[in-house]
Amino acid sequence: MTAESATAPATESAKRCAVLGSPIAHSLSPVMHRAAYRALGLDWTYEAVDTAEDELPSVLNRRDEHGGPYWAGLSLTMPLKRVVLDHVDERSQTTRALGVANTVVFSDGLRKAHNTDVPGAVAALTEARADRIVTARILGGGATAASAAYAVSRLGATHIEFRVRAPERAAAAAEFARGRGAHVEVTPLHRPMLNVVDVVVSTVPDSAIGTRAHELVDAADVIFDAVYEPWPTHLARAAQERGRTLIGGLDLLAHQAARQIRLMTGQDVEAQFLREAAREELNRRHSRS
């Protein structure tokens, strides 16, 4: 399994990692990373730390009892994927191009930012044999939508349509996609679907889809819903009913986490192993509710 090139921290015991964001209690990252550490024989810890934008510098600056960096690695979710780049020393090629990071590795006294969402999305699409893309419709315009645009462009997409509730929110993602050479349209989410695309990627909450799920599915060959909870979403149910190729948020989560673990520990864990750990946790949550 490959990941973006980086110098991973030494795999010594008692390393600390975490996922930062707000809200964060629902995150499945701790379950996956802890399962990986057990499988790899690492005495590492991984926690979820609720972190707002203004709290990020103090969390990044934490020091251990010897005055060194407190963290070995951090995962980042909303609302931190863009702002974290103001607080790192190095950026991978993808984060420089995209302006979005979801991983920080503390190595050689430096904070190194990476984006594993992009290669994770590419891997999820490839796994589903949906890796020949010319046209894509992306629902949403935030950091995850920008990563999705990069992923489909890597797989050959030359026409990308962003469907958004507020067109100004897609400005950065649209500008990036145009910079990749794609023909880009930004269209209100509620407009009728006038053409069929190779893939629709949803980065919006299930509530934003509602009764339009079948309309969206009928206008795409492959459905990629970045949501993993609640599951199945309206879009996923419609895709299953229509017999479409379906990729879920759990697939993306597992593939990007496998790459994070490689960056942080220098060791490999299969995405399928992480996906099973996350699915077991979701089943436990559902059984308690």
Q: Which pLDDT band holds residue 194 (cuts at 50, 70, 90)?
A: confident
Bridge partners of 255? Answer: none
Same-domain pairing of 201 and 126: yes
Mean pLDDT of 89-96: 96
**% residues pLDDT > 70 (the chain):** 95
Against a cut of 0.85, is the pTM above it?
yes
Give dist(CA 52, CA 84) in Å, integer: 11
Among 92, 115, 138, residue at a domain's last position: 115
Mean pLDDT of 74-91: 97
pLDDT of residue 158: 97
Q: What is the CATH number of the domain that holds 151?
A: 3.40.50.720
Among 115, 134, 167, residue at a domain's last position: 115
Domain of residue 226: give its range.
119-250
Q: Quick one: tokens of 78?
A: 């909303």
Same-domain pairing of 150 and 62: no
Report the amino acid identity of residue 38: R
283 phi, psi to nearest 5 deg: -65, -40
Residue 160 falls inside a structural domain: yes
Residue 283 falls inside a structural domain: no
Residue 288 falls inside a structural domain: no
Residue 281 falls inside a structural domain: no
Give dist(CA 175, CA 169) in Å, integer: 11
Same-domain pairing of 78 and 126: no
Same-domain pairing of 60 and 123: no
The helix/strand/coil state of 228 is coil
pLDDT tens digits, one per residue of 249-261:
999 999 999 999 9
pLDDT tens digits, one per residue of 156-188:
999 999 999 888 889 999 999 999 999 999 999
pLDDT tens digits, one per residue of 59-77:
999 999 888 899 999 999 9
β strands within the chain, DSSP E: 16-21, 45-50, 73-76, 90-91, 103-107, 110-114, 135-139, 159-164, 183-188, 197-202, 220-225, 245-247
pLDDT tens digits, one per residue of 254-286:
999 999 999 999 999 999 999 999 999 999 998
Length of the chain: 289
Positions marked active-site: 81
Residue 257 falls inside a structural domain: no
Among 115, 146, 178, residue at a domain's last position: 115
Same-domain pairing of 37 and 96: yes
Residue 31 falls inside a structural domain: yes
Residue 271 falls inside a structural domain: no
Same-domain pairing of 25 and 56: yes
Structurally, the chain folds into a number of domains equal to 2
Same-domain pairing of 190 and 109: no
Q: What is the CATH number of the domain that holds 52?
A: 3.40.50.10860
Same-domain pairing of 76 and 105: yes
Average confidence score pLDDT of the chain:
93
